[in-house]
Structure 1
C-alpha cells in the first residue's frame, strides 16, 4: 500500500513561513541583480507509480519561485482537481476519489483498474509562465486462477503450427515468461511469443514435454503448466526376419517382426502376396515348418490410430539356409606349448559347412567348429595352412600361418605422474602366431609384478615406476616365446640426451626454429629451451636488456622435436641451447647455436692492434741486429792494427744504439762467397702491449 502524508497545521504554517522567506529572498535578489525568481515544479517521487487495487496513492510534487501558485491536475485530458497551493481549504474539482494536498500534490483514494492513466499537474501564477509535470499510474490486481489452453487440441508432427495461450480469472501480468522443460523460451524461428500466446512453428516429437507460463506483477505472481505430447508417426517400419539369414531351409521356423516409432504407438497389419495373414498383438508373424511355397513378399502396414497416418514396407523370404558370415581360422598352443591346435570356425547353416585342413590331413574333416592338433610343429614354421569350407550354396576358405617370434617392435614411453614421479614404459612385442608370451629380465633376474615393476596382462609392456636416472639406467631384456621359437631383445635405457640439433632463421631474421633429435632409448620427460642475449621483444613491448647467462624461455614436452622463438632483434647476437630432462634430472646440453650478425673485431681490438704494430717492428729490428752481430763474430777477419781495433771498439762504445738508427748494410762480397754454418737463433718471445 502507498502511504499518504497529511500536512498538520504546524506543517502548514512552517510551509507558509518558508514560502514567505523565499519570496523576500526573491525580492532582494531583484533589487540587487535585477532578476526575478521563476516558478518551477518537480516531482518528489518517481513519475512511474505502481499501485495495488484498493490502495491510496499520492502523486507528490514540489514547487519553487513563487508563493501560492494555482495548481490543476488532469487525468488523461480531463481536469480532476484545481486549487491554490497553501490554501487551508482547497477546493475546485476534487471528488471522493481525489484528495488535494496543501503542497500541490494529489492523492488518489481506493484506486481501481480504471485509474490506469497519465496524470499531469500544471502550476501557474499571475504574470508567470505555466509549468507542469507528468506522472504515469499503473494499477494491478492480484493474479488468480491461471489456465492454459491449446489450439488445435492435439499437436501433430508436421503441422504448420501449434499454440498455447493462458487466461486468468483475476489480475493481469506485467511480465510473462514461457518455459519448456524448465528452459526459458525466446522469440525465434521455432517459438513465437505474442500477447498471451506461445506458438510452436512446425512442431516435432522433440517438442513433447512440459510447458510452463510464469505471470508476475509488482504485487503477485502465478505459475501454471501443461504437459504436451506431440503426435507423430508411424515412421518407416523396421522389418526383421528371425533368425537373420538370406535363405531358409525347408522345415525351419522363422519370425517376421515389424516395428515403427510413433505416438501413439502404431498398430501392424501383415499381408502376403496381397492377402491378410494372422499376426500377434505385437505385430509378429510366426512361420513354422516353412515350405518353398511360402517364399515371396511379405508386407507390413503400420497405422497411427489418432492421426490416421499409415506406412508400409516389404520383406522377401527365401526358403533356403547357409552358414552366415565367413569362416575364421586361428592357432593356439596346447599340451604345455609343445603342440599347436588349428581351429576353423563357421557355425550355422543347413546343412552345416564341411571344414578341413588338406595340408595337415587330406582325409580328416569336421563341421561347424573344427579343430586339429599337430605335434610335429617345427616343420610348419612359416607355412600357410588353409581351412577349406564347403557348403551346397557357397565354397570359401580361410588361412593362417604359424610363425615363431620374429621382428621386434620396441618403444620407450615416458610420462610424469601428478606427484612428479617418472614412469617409464618399455613396449616390446614380436610378430608371432600364436601370440608370443614375453619374459622380462634385468641383470639376469626375472622381473615380477611389484611396487617398482609392473608387467601388462599381455606381457608386452614393462612399467617402471618412480624411475631414477641415477639407479635405473640399465639394460632390460625381453624374451618372446611361443611353441615355434623365441626371440630376445635388449633395451639399454639412456639418460636424457640430445643426439643432434639445428637452427633455422626466418627470412625476416626475427624468428628462429630449433630442431633436435634424441636417441631411441633415451629417457626424457621434457626439454628446457634456453637463450642468452637481449630479451625477446614485440612491436608493442620492445625490450633492450641483455643477459649474460642462459635463461630458460620455453619448457617443451617429451614428444616435442621442434619449437619456434619469436621476437628476435636482427641486429643483436643470441645463443640458444636445448637441455633434456628426465624428471628432476637434467642431461647434457645440446651444442650452442649462435644467431646474429657476422662476428668481427671490436673498436677496442682494432685500436690495440694499431698501437701494437710499432712495438712489434721495434722488437723485430732488435732481433735482426742481434742476429747480424752474432754472424759477424763467426766470420774470419783479416788482421787489423791495434789502432783500428781500438777505433772500432770506442766507436761501438760511444754509439751503442747506432745500429738501430741506421739502415743495415750488406756484408762484403767476400763474405757472400764463403759458405758458413748458421747457428740456431735464440728463441725470442715477442709481446704486443695494447
Structure 2
C-alpha cells in the first residue's frame, strides 16, 4: 500500500522521468544515439524464503552511467545513477529492505510476504534508448499446520454441493493437488477445484472414500487426508407379502416386510390407513387370523436416522370373506293379481356378492338383497328362475319357480267348547308361489270378517262360529285362491253328522270285538258315542242301548273287551256335531256260537292257498295292530290296517289356526271332531 512518502517520492520520480525523457528526446534528435541493453543475470521468476536475502540481478551494456529505476508493482521505489557517488534514492518505507548494487541489481534483505510481486527495472541514458526487464518475486514460508475441513460436516447423496477446504497456519503452497483414493482429481462437471477448495457437485454414494490435499512450495511439502462417507437412502423400499397371493381370505395369516438400501440402514415404520401399527425392528409386520376390516392400505415409512431423509411406499391388502350360508331366492306378489317381484338375498361377505337374474334381465344386478320386477309375468308360470351369485371366492346360485294356484280339496276341522258351542274350520291350502290369497263365498256371496264368520290373517282358513248342524250352516262354501299367475276355485258342502260305513270283528275267544267305521269327507262331526245292548261286565242283562264309550271326531276304530262269550250283544255308532245327533250306523250283532263272522272266515280261507310269504305279511300286520296288549284272537286284514293307522293318531293334537278375532275355547276334556 502506498504511503504519503510514497506519493511524494512518486512525484519526484516522475519529474526525473520527465527530465530524462526530455533530454533523451532532444539528444536523440541531435544525433547522439548509442545502443544500450539490460538483461537479468538469473531467471526472472525468483523464489525466496521468508527472512532471507534475495537479489534481483541484472547486467547492462551500452551507455555508461545510466539511470536505474526499480518499480515494485508499478510504483518507483529506487532511483540511482550507476557509478554515481551519491546515495540511491530509496523509498523511505522500504529503506531497510531495498539495496541497490553497483551494477544496478536490487537486493531485498530479510524479505517477507508483502514483497511478493512484480519488479521492473528501467535504465535510461541521454542519447540512449530506454530499456527495462521484469522480475517476478515469490516469497514463501515453510508450510506448517495444514488443516482439511468440509462444508457441510456430512456428505449426503443428492445435495447440491459438498466442499473440502484447507487452511495453513504458516506458509502458502505454490502447487495444490487433490487426490481421491490416491488418484489425482481434475476440474470437471463433478469435481470443481478453485483456490483452496475442492467441491463435489451432487455427491453420490460412490464418492465415499479417502481424500487428500498435497501442498508444495519451493521450500516445503505437506499432505493432509480426510475420509468421508456419503450418506444415502433410503432407496425405494421393496415390499413383500408372504404368502404371495392376490387376495387373502378371512382367517388367513400373512407377513409384511419392508426393506431398502441406505447408509446408515434406514428404520421402517408401518401405518394402516394412516394409523400407526406396531411392527418389528426389522421392518416387518405379522398379521394372524385376519378379518375383512383389516383390508386397506399399508404404508411403510423408511427414515435415515442421520440425514432424516424418508421415503414411503404403499401396499394394498385385500381380505375377502364369503357371505354366510347360501343365497336365498323368493318371489312375492307386487299386488294381488298384477305383478311379481323376484328377490335374491345373500348379504354380508367382503366384497358383497354380485346378484343377478339373467333369465329376467341380463343387464341389471345388485348386492345384498337384490330384487327385480319383470313386466311380462305370464310366461314365467312354472318356469325356473335362477339367481346368479358371484363372489371373488365362489360362484353359486339359487332358484325359484313361480306358479299359479293348483287344484286342492278343502280340509275341515271342528272343535267344541265347554259350553257345547261348535266351531267349524275350513282350510283351503293350495300350492302356489307367491302364496295365494283366498276369498270366501257362501252360496256365491262374499264372506267378510264378523261374529259368525272369521277369516284368518293369511286368508286360508274360514272359522264358522256357533255352528248348528241342523240349520242353514249346512251349506256350500267356496274358496277362491288367487295369485298374479292365476286362480282356482274349490267347493266344500258341509253335511250333518253321518256314518258312511261300519263293520265289526269278533275275537276267537269271543271276549273282544273291534268296531270300524267311516264318515263322509265333509260331514261335520265332533265325536262318536259307541253304544251297546246286552249284558254288562257285571253280568246283568240290559234291553236298551247304552253308551259305553265316547270317541273323538278323528277316531275310526275301537276295541271292546271283557264280553261274555255265551251272551248276545248288539253294537251301534252314533255320530254327533255338538248338540246335534246324526243318524246311527247299522246294528252289529254278536251271538253265542257264531264264531268269526263271514268276512273274517273269508279272509282266512283266502289266505290258506297263498304262499308262506303272504302269510308272514299278514302276521306282520297282526303284530302292528297290538300297540298295548296282545289279544288272543285273529284279526282280519282290514282290522289290522285300522289299528296300525289309529296308533299314529294323537287325540289331543289339534292344529291351531290363525285368526283375527277370538275363537271358541277347547281343552282336553271337550270332545273334538275332524273330518277329512
**TM-score between the two structures when normalised by the length of structure 1:** 0.41
Q: Which has the larger radius of gyration?
A: 2
**TM-score between the two structures when normalised by the length of structure 2:** 0.42
Q: Which has the higher contact order (CA 8 A, sep 6+)?
A: 2
